[in-house]
Amino acid sequence: MTDHVSDIGGAARTRNLAFPQSSGARKIRIIPLGMSLGFFLSLTFVLCVLFDLWFPSQAMNPAWSVLLPGFVWISWTSLLLGLIETFAYGWYIALLFGGLYNFWAARGGIFRSF
């Protein structure tokens, strides 16, 4: 779908209404998003490990061994491995979500008219 727009000088130009060039949407900066999500998930992991140590009857360590490959309850190397893996998960989410968001924001989204 195209539309003809007249400039002040009278010259007509064509613009694409289905995928506008400038949607006004702001792009997400991937590096701050990745760092934020990485540290957020790592901090959440540490808080969950502390919660498991304080309340062993409510422990989540069986879930950690499924979600974090190589994680064994609890050693210093396992804690370090869990921190690295949760930080990597944060970057995975940032790259995937941020990339998809920027892709669709640049195109004005698919539901722009709603």
Strands (E), the chain: 2-6, 12-16
Q: Match 């590096």 to its residue by tokens.
A: 31
Per-residue model confidence as pLDDT tens digits over 61-110: 888 888 888 888 888 999 999 999 999 999 999 999 999 999 988 887 66
Per-residue model confidence as pLDDT tens digits over 8-65: 655 555 555 444 455 566 889 999 999 999 999 999 999 999 998 899 888 888 888 8
Alpha-carbon distance of 86 to 88, in angstroms, equals 5
Query: pTM to 2 decimals?
Result: 0.70
